[in-house]
C-alpha cells in the first residue's frame, strides 16, 4: 500500500489530487491530522483500500509509451 494510516489527508491530496473525491465521499476534512486519528478503525481499513485503489488505477493509466 502506498497510502498509510499515519498520513494526513492534506499530504495525500497534495501527492494524489484524484483522492480528494474519496475524502469527500467519507466527509473527511483535508487537514494535516493523520487518518488514524480522524477515522474509526473499522472505516480506516476500507478507506485505505479505496484510496490505494484510486492511486493504483492512476498509476496503471500512466504506463511508459502509453
pLDDT digits (tens, 9 = 90+) for 5-17: 999 999 999 999 9
User: What pLDDT band is residue 45 in, cutting at 50, 70 and 90?
Assistant: very high
Span 33-51, average pLDDT? 97
Mean pLDDT of the chain: 89
Exposed/middle/buried for residue 22 (C-beta within 10 Å: 0-12, 13-18, 19+): buried
Global confidence as pTM:
0.84
Domain ranges of the chain: 9-60
Q: Which residues contact 54 (CB under 8 A, 6 or more apart)?
A: 16, 18, 19, 21, 22
Amino acid at each position: 500500500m502506498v497510502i498509510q494510516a499515519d498520513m494526513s489527508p492534506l499530504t495525500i491530496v497534495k501527492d494524489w489530487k484524484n483522492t480528494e473525491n474519496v475524502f469527500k465521499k467519507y466527509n473527511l476534512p483535508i487537514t494535516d491530522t493523520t487518518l488514524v486519528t480522524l477515522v474509526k478503525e473499522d472505516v480506516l481499513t476500507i478507506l485505505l483500500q479505496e484510496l490505494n485503489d484510486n492511486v493504483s488505477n492512476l498509476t496503471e493509466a500512466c504506463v511508459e509509451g502509453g
